[in-house]
Amino acid sequence: MNLEWIGLGLAITKMDYVVKVKSIPFAYGFQVETLVRLKRSCTEEQKKCIEVWAQANDMSVIEPKRMYGERMKKWIDTMEPFYSLMHERDVKNIKKIKWMLDNPIPKVAYRDDGTRRSTKIGKNWKKFMYWVEAWDAFCEGLE
């Protein structure tokens, strides 16, 4: 059996797909965090096996340990043919990550006044509330 295929099998079971909507004291009061990381239960030997498969696909799971942005997107896209082999919870979280990437939380608008500090124009609550309702509806649809 090929070590690369063992790494793929471990990647299917030992990766954690994280989607968090956290409370924060500024902007709209919420922040979105999406990432992919190795589960804490993953041993060093398992990490090395997963890394063999990841490197064969021009990726890495060891440095850095958490994947954000384009690295995370590439990982999720590469894993797509194997979704049917993954745990249902992982597939749901991947779908949530993809939704978040396609529908980012609205930003508070700022006016650049040419100084280091910009002036806050305001919050677009209608846009934010539309986003919240769309997120809730999407999550309910996954149940």
- What 3-state class would DSSP assign to 85? helix
Give the chain as a DSSP string: --HHHHHHHHHHHHEEEEEEEEE-SSTTSEEEEEEEEE-TT--HHHHHHHHHHHHHTT--SSSSSEE-HHHHHHHHHHHGGGGGGS-HHHHHHHHHHHHHHHSPPPPPEEE--SSSSPEEEE--HHHHHHHHHHHHHHHHHH-
- Judged by phi (left if over 0) then psi (alpha if -120 to 50, else beta), residue 115 lies in beta
Task: Give all domains of the chain, ordered by start, each with its CATH number.
Answer: 3-142 (3.10.28)
The Cα 123–Cα 26 span in angstroms is 11
Query: Mind listing the pLDDT tens digit for each residue in 15-38?
Result: 999 999 888 877 777 888 999 999
Q: Token pair 């919240």 is at which residue?
A: 132
Query: Mind listing the pLDDT tens digit for each residue in 107-131?
Result: 776 655 555 555 555 667 888 889 9
Joined together, the tokens standing for residue 18 give 């994280």
The Cα 64–Cα 41 span in angstroms is 17
85 versus 108: the higher-pLDDT residue is: 85
Pick from 51-55, 85-89, 125-129: least confident: 125-129
**Sequence-separated (6 or more) residues with CB below 8 Å from residue 82:** 8, 12
Sheet holding 30-38, edge to edge: 15-23, 30-38, 66-67
Q: Tell me the whole-structure pTM to 2 decimals.
A: 0.84
